[in-house]
Structure formats: C-alpha cells, structure tokens
Amino acid sequence: MDKIYYELLEQAKEASKKAYAKYSNFFVGACALFESGEKFCGCNIENASYGLTICAERVAISNAIANGEKSAIKAIAIYSPNQKLCFPCGACRQWLSEFATNDDIKIILEDENDIKVQTLKELFPCGFKLND
C-alpha cells in the first residue's frame, strides 16, 4: 500500500479530534491530497439545525479552495473513531466528483486491520456533471 495513504489517514485522524459534534457525538476528519502535492484537512461541524451541518470532506475541500488551491483532488482519507469504513455521504461524493479531474481519485478508509482504498468511480458510478 502506498505510504502516502497512511500519512493522509493519520492526518484525518488528527482532524477528527477537532470536530464540532455536540449533537451526534460522531466525529469525522478528512485529509485531501491535491495534484499540486498540497494537503488540506477538515472536520465535521454540526449545527442545531441539522441540515446546516457540514461534513469533514466538504470542509477539507472548502479549506483548499479558500487557500487558493486550483489543482484537482488526487486522494482523500476519511476517518471516524466512531466507525470503521466511514464512507463519504452522497453529498460529499458529489463534491469529490466536482473537484476531481476524473473518477479514479482514491478514497482511503480505515478498516479493521489495515486501510481500504477505493476509487470514487466505485463509490459513485453516476455522478452528476454539467456539460462543459
């Protein structure tokens, strides 16, 4: 397994410690690697109005965009101490699709004994795209 996947997962673990999850107590961290080589992390941020909650993956991507990142996502690690194999929700899969060059980006998750790596295409085979 590629060493960078383990590094991204460790950074996602650290990010999960910063989550604001006072309603669900479900902590999530994410760390996204971009084609530029830059990494950006995020954690979930809940709100009393649950629909306003934002997932760790979208916070990581927003952090990248806010910091001027222009390249596409290459890989993202997602971690929760509450659940192994913490897959991205549908909204996050769409966001990943928006900021990826193709659907082969790697989704890195912690499994029981190691890590699991899947492509976005495997998790989200029919993402919405506007015609360019």
List residues with catalytic annotation: 57
Residues present in the chain in total = 132
Residue 50, amino acid: Y
Helix (H), strand (E), coil (C) string for 71-97: CCEEEEEEECCCCCCCCCCHHHHHHHH
Hey, what are 9's tokens?
Answer: 């997962």
CA angle at residue 44 from 43 to 49, to 5 degrees? 155
